Structure 1
Amino acid sequence: MTKKSIFSLLLLTASIVNLQAQDKFIPSIWEGKLMGLRLVLKIDEDATSKQPVAVFDSPDQGAFGLKVSKLNITDDSLSAFSSQINGGFKGAFNKDKTELEGAWNQGTAIPFVMKRVSQASALKRPQTPVAPFPYTEEKLTYQNATNTVKYGATLTVPNVKGNVPVVILISGSGQQDRDATIFGHKPFLVIADYLSRNGIAVLRVDDRGVGETTGEVTSATSKDFAYDVLAGVAYLKSRQDMDSQKIGLIGHSEGGLIAPLVATLSKDIAFIVSLAGPGISGSEILRKQTNHLFKQQGLSEAEILTFQELQETLNKLSEKYSDNSELKPIFQETMKNWLANQSEATLFKLGFSGPNADKAIDQMAAFYFLPWTRFFRAYDPAVTLAKIKIPFLALNGGKDTQVLAKENLAGFEQHLRIAGNKNFKTMAFPELNHLFQHAVTGEVGEYSTIEETFDPMVLETMVTWIKSLK
């Protein structure tokens, strides 16, 4: 989705070949913001070969030391290129050689300015908790019921007498560490710290394939991730210091979809908090996200409508053919026919033109073929939420551009009311984005520029609501 497309744009790796540079730029550091994310180019001299070397850092994404495959510096310009993704940056120097103005090009040219700096700017994340803590923090591992997945986790337990309520934090789409680290923010660490300071234990877990957690990811769906959460529930029930009657779930984004799934599989769940979770179908979520992204890229309403029609056709094909080997040739033929009827200008905006057109099409096909995509697109919250009778709190940011507050909160209200749930509540926080930060636009590119990790009012709202439960 949006976040993933930004990630793939910036993660650059390759071997160094044919590097050239002028001595006056060795060493040097160049920094700019690409689609709101900082990108740093570091040029230095290899200690052994004495040849110039260069790497990209994407600090907002936690990616460092990513090798440049080709570097060229002249009196007028600098270019850094990655052969692995067939993309890179080229810019012209200003008069005093302190700034480069040019474009990042990976099929589509994006205007990009880099400035020479003495050192890369540091992230400011004032909410990140710092030890010592007024609660016990325990790093641990446990297995699932079939001993096929090992989970790495951290449990924070309030220093109080008696058993305490406990929540499991469930992350959104894309594999994340136990702190849900994104753009230097650690929202799950912030949530765990606040809740445990207020008498609630918290289990936060590395996702499959991340950190200390094992497990296969490529074929996994949200249903598989629900079973991962069940392993955490079983672990918590085995502990004597937890109140097994007060095990709750807090899920962010896709985690807000997974949490209700878990509750349909286990009677041990006492309550659910959904943070920007989907209250409408997965296919509708994807459609709205795509439309918003294309508007940001300057596509007209007519162009967006045309792509919507393509999406609907591909969705129906995916539903008809469950076997990817059957779907692939039909998918490719459908794409080929659609592309042939689009203008070059439209294809350029969509990234389906130039040397990377075939790669863009392959990436789109790969996304459609993923078991995760098939499951998410078919997900209907009405079916799952019809079974949810436990207390349910759904929260959303009013400036969320990924999971829109109005439609999704209305969906939760409708489905839970039909289910006969007697204890549910929905709340919108007008100034917050998808990550529950105070935002100006709510766009993804803004996330990394905001120092706030998670709105304190939302933290207080969760604690107050959980403690109010009998």
Structure 2
Amino acid sequence: MTAGGSKIFKDLAEGLASRGVAVLRYDRRSHACPNSLSAAEWTLDNITVNDPLVAAEQLRNIEEVDSEKVIVAGHSLGGLAAPRIAERDESLAGIAMLAGPARNFYEIFIEQFEHLATLGEYEWERMANIYERWQSRIDRIREGDYSDGDIVLDYPGALWRTVDEYDQVGTAKEIETPMFVLQGERDYQVSPEEDFDRWQEELADRPNTSFELYEGLGHTFQYGEGPATQSEYALSNPLDETVVEDLASWATSL
């Protein structure tokens, strides 16, 4: 993920590699090959699940890689999809879910907007029309009032439909793959209270499951102070080193 100056996957890959963990990092298909899928083909599997399955198999075929210790680390939508990936590849040694929502993906959109509207640099009066437009589109998604090829909230209906059909929490409960759930406590895009806390509550009795909430870190695991803002993404602050160390320690312990 690259957002302004934030390069979470690059930082994570370099940090893990420097600690002896081999990494295969790739651009999401919709980014690297934007015309390879029609809007109706923009499903959760095509965008987020199928390619990691291929990547994991490629890693297993590299002589220097321990084929029994391959893990998948996903961020945000990738974190949400990680249990589905593990469900389809039972040979994975573990999955790491970085800021993955425990709720339906569209449910978090309006909360992000409401958070930004409370900050001094945003004027609610000027944003009210946008808010109402977002709310009406979220209502459309909730009611299933779209087709796979429709663009709703900037994404094809096929993505909303397949995300709506997928239960990430239920899937996480069913699989036996070790799991590591990580999130920053300043994250305004995925709620620590509504999402991270739900992961902890729902998976409290699940074996081989670890949780870590990082003080001062936002959605991209960069450090900051005060309420998180969009402008932070423009900064070239690195991914917090503690996150890299924790993920490397967890991966090598499997």
User: Normalised by the size of structure 1, how large is the TM-score?
Assistant: 0.47
2:11 corresponds in structure 1 to 190
1:442 corresponds in structure 2 to 228
1:405 corresponds in structure 2 to 192
User: CA deviation digits over 1:124-178, x for unaligned, max 9?
Assistant: xxxxxxxxxxxxxxxxxxxxxxxxxxxxxxxxxxxxxxxxxxxxxxxxxxxxxxx
Q: Report which structure shows greater RCO (CA 8 Å, sep ≥6).
A: 2
1:466 corresponds in structure 2 to 251
**What are the ranges of 5 or more consecutive residues in structure 2 without an aligned counterpart?**
none
Please say if 1:229 is aligned against 2:229.
no
Q: Secondary structure at the match of 2:206?
A: coil
Of structures 1 and 2, the larger Rg is shown by: 1
Change beyond 3 A, Cα 1:230–1:442: same
C-alpha distance in structure 1 between counterparts of 2:110 and 2:157, whole Å: 17
Shift of 1:424: 1.0
| Greater fraction helix | 2
User: CA deviation digits over 1:3-58, x for unaligned, max 9?
Assistant: xxxxxxxxxxxxxxxxxxxxxxxxxxxxxxxxxxxxxxxxxxxxxxxxxxxxxxxx
C-alpha distance in structure 2 between counterparts of 1:202 and 1:227, whole Å: 18
Matches within 5 A, 1:292-331: 292-296=115-119, 297-299=122-124, 310-311=136-137, 313-317=139-143, 319=144, 321=145, 323=147
User: CA deviation digits over 1:54-82, x for unaligned, max 9?
Assistant: xxxxxxxxxxxxxxxxxxxxxxxxxxxxx
Please say if 1:432 is aligned against 2:217.
yes
User: Normalised by the size of structure 2, how large is the TM-score?
Assistant: 0.83
Question: Is the Cα contact below 8 Å between 1:388 and 1:416 reproduced in 2?
Answer: no
Aligned with residue 220 of structure 1, among 20, 39, 42: 42
1:116 corresponds in structure 2 to none
2:154 corresponds in structure 1 to 367
Question: Is the Cα contact below 8 Å between 2:78 and 2:97 reproduced in 1?
Answer: yes
Q: Look up the equivalent residue of 2:172 and give its one-letter code.
A: L
Aligned with residue 94 of structure 2, among 260, 267, 271: 271
Identity of aligned residues (%): 27
Shift of 1:415: 2.8
Question: Is the Cα contact below 8 Å between 2:42 and 2:156 reproduced in 1?
Answer: no
Question: Is the Cα contact below 8 Å between 2:112 and 2:188 reproduced in 1?
Answer: yes
Please say if 1:257 is aligned against 2:80.
yes
C-alpha distance in structure 1 between counterparts of 2:69 and 2:60, whole Å: 10
Matches within 5 A, 1:317-356: 317=143, 319=144, 321=145, 323=147
Shift of 1:202: 0.5
Q: Secondary structure at the match of 1:202?
A: coil
Question: Bigger shift: 231-240 or 214-223?
Answer: 214-223
Q: Secondary structure at the match of 1:205?
A: coil
Q: Secondary structure at the match of 1:269?
A: coil
C-alpha distance in structure 2 between counterparts of 1:378 and 1:322, whole Å: 15
Aligned length: 246
Q: Secondary structure at the match of 2:161?
A: helix
Question: Is the Cα contact below 8 Å between 2:42 and 2:158 reproduced in 1?
Answer: yes
Question: Is the Cα contact below 8 Å between 1:390 and 1:421 reproduced in 2?
Answer: no
Question: What is the RMSD computed on CA atoms of the aligned residues?
Answer: 2.9
Q: Secondary structure at the match of 1:260?
A: helix
User: CA deviation digits over 1:338-390, x for unaligned, max 9?
Assistant: xxxxxxxxxxxxxxxxxxxxxxxxx7x46365322333355432232222322
